[in-house]
Amino acid sequence: MCGIVGYIGKKQAAPVILDGLERLEYRGYDSAGMAVYDGSRLQIAKSTGRLNVLYNHTRGGEALPGFVGIGHTRWATHGMPNDVNAHPHVNKSGTIAVVQNGIIENYLALKKKLTDKGYEFVSDTDTEVLAHLLDYYYNGDPRKTIIKMIGHVEGSYALGIVFADHPDVLYGVRKECPLIIGVGKDEYFMASDVTAILKYTRKVVYLNNLEIAELREGGMEFCTVDEDKIEKETVTVDWDVSAAEKGGYEHYMLKEMMEQPKVVRDTLSPRIKKGEIVIEELAMTDAELANVKKIFIAACGSAYHTGVTAKYIFENLARVPVEVDLASEFRYRDPLLEKNDLVIVISQSGETADTIAALRMAKEAGCRILAIVNVVGSTIAREADFVMYTWAGPEIAVATTKAYSAQMAALYLLAMKLAKVRHYLHGRKQQAMLNDLMKLPEQIELLLNNREEIQRIASRFIAAKYVFFMGRGIDYAICLEGSLKLKEISYIHSEAYAAGELKHGTISLIEEGTLVAAVSTQPSLYPKILSNIKEVKARGAVVLSITTMGNIEIEKESDYVITLPESNPLFFDSLAIIPLQMLAYYIAVGRGCDVDKPRNLAKSVTVE
């Protein structure tokens, strides 16, 4: 969840590190720091708050001259956000500096051991333990020292390490948490995410678990914890550098919302050929796919919400049973997995810790794993049996928008493919669905162009204390995501409810002026949701309805109405979510919230 950047080469390291950390701000952080070797010793600078505090403190990096260094943005897990707890952490003599992303699970036992041997701690972090542990085992050979340290550390982590005795080498270590190496001309980079170094290079190396990188100006070496040297493949990243910039928009979130027509088109188009869905990445024969008896979907956050929608679609269209779990719950409920079940894991980053754990458990049970991810070369992408990439490009805002829409597009394709091989979808019905599917990018664009109407509605609810979302079936799944968007960026308490549950307690919370967003896109459920709208209206609620064109009765009962273009009912998630994203965005902007970097949140949750 934190961000790591390292550099070694001919450039001044500090400005490069600051630039990389700025591009990792979306991951969430509360403090930042750097360590740079200045030719004689390690210079440390750390600051609480936004990165510009560190930038000003170091005069844009000029105050820390040197050609090798490490930097870090911290999201507090052990100890309050302050200058002392900020990374990097060093040993007593200041000759070893370390930054960490992750959690050291046995740090208290290690801390006691080191304290008993005379080591003194100044911070409350688990990371300081690593600095002193490296000092304790240091024998003049950094590689052997790192390997010795790893043997005593439990947890998940990515580390950047600099030794003042060996200032010509930058070290990186990875276990579970992501760490990539960027390859330049006589220079090397280290980062938690490729977006940090796209400005400098597109050539990267992905570290695997328990691998160590040694980076020198003249080359790089990799080894395992058994000191076996390994050759690593250099991969070229094809993301456009401008995709990680704001491009003139006020916020990354707004830019990414506006990119949704393109990312949905990019996810759909290559997989529809001559009127047929072709998912080459699936690498399963039609017979194997048709023989799938059960599907499990495991994901977190917004990705989980796409899975909830997918359950309705898969079961309706392909008549195959589907279970959807929060990945953090999946492995603890001891699911009844069978050898040939298909497990779909969904993650934007491909590094979500709970989702990785769910994947591994399912794999041990003999299930086939299909990953829907956005980041090429991520842990989930490498460990799954099959991968459907969503081609959304870098998503910087913490609250996902375009990655969510791309995931939905991938799931539509998968559901239709499964329905075809199981003989539930063919002929005119298939063609009609494909036509509706290919219209989605254009329809999303139409809804985005109506954002002034959403902004007008949002302006009336900036002071709302709580908001409720209600729907049935797929509409309930849409409400889950709409509610999450609002609460995570505006800090307004909001909840999503299956509308039929209102009578079972929730309706007691409705009072005069309460905003209720009612999603109604499923024709068979119109009469039911209409009754629910009347129920909340009778108790003083203000109703915003997201519904289809021509739904006159619901329009009459609602205070505000946003109408959606005609489409197949199974695809309405991709349309209804657009005004809900914009509603959350404009309410948050109106409240003065930091839309791209909401408090306490991180983009990629790489620890449990």
Q: Are 510 and 541 in contact (CB under 8 A)?
A: yes
* 358 φ, ψ (degrees, to nearest 5): -65, -40
* Residues 510/536, Cβ–Cβ less than 8 Å: yes
Distances (CA, A) of 583 to 358, 491, 590: 33, 13, 11
Kindly calculate the radius of gyration of the chain based on its CA atoms and give it in whole angstroms.
25
Six-digit token string for 323: 């279970």
What single string gives the DSSP state of each residue in 322-356? Answer: EEEEEHHHHTTS-----TT-EEEEEESSS--HHHH
At residue 420, the 3 state secondary structure works out as helix
Rounded to whole angstroms, the Cα distance separating 593 from 508 reads 30
The β-bridge partners of 157 are 102, 176
State how far the Cα of 123 lies from the Cα of 377, in Å rounded to an integer.
35
Count the neighbouring beta carbons within 10 Å of the beta carbon of residue 525: 20
Find the helix packing angle between 107-116 and 127-137, rounded to 10°. Answer: 50
Q: List 102's β-bridge partners, or say none.
A: 157
Give CA–CA dist 424/128, Å, rounded. Answer: 59
Note the helical H segments in 105-207. 107-116, 127-137, 142-150
Strand order in 68-74's β-sheet? 42-48, 31-37, 68-74, 3-8, 188-191, 180-183, 203-206, 235-236
Sign of the four-CA dihedral 257, 573, 298, 287? negative
Residues known to be catalytic: 2, 603
Cβ–Cβ under 8 Å, residues 352 and 380: yes
Q: Cβ atoms within 10 A of the Cβ of 167, count?
A: 20
CA distance 366 to 358: 13
Distance CA 235, CA 242 (A): 20
Helices 301-318, 402-421: inter-axial angle, 10-degree rounding: 20
Cα 201 to Cα 431: distance, rounded to the nearest angstrom: 43
> 155's torsion region: left (phi>0), alpha (psi -120 to 50) or beta?
left
Q: Which helix (H) or strand (E) holds 355?
A: helix 353-364
Residue 299 CB neighbours (<10 A): 29
Helix/strand/coil for 337? coil
Peptide bond into 579 cis (omega under 30): no
Give the SS3 label for residue 313: helix
- Report the distance separating Cα 31 and Cα 83, nearest Å: 7
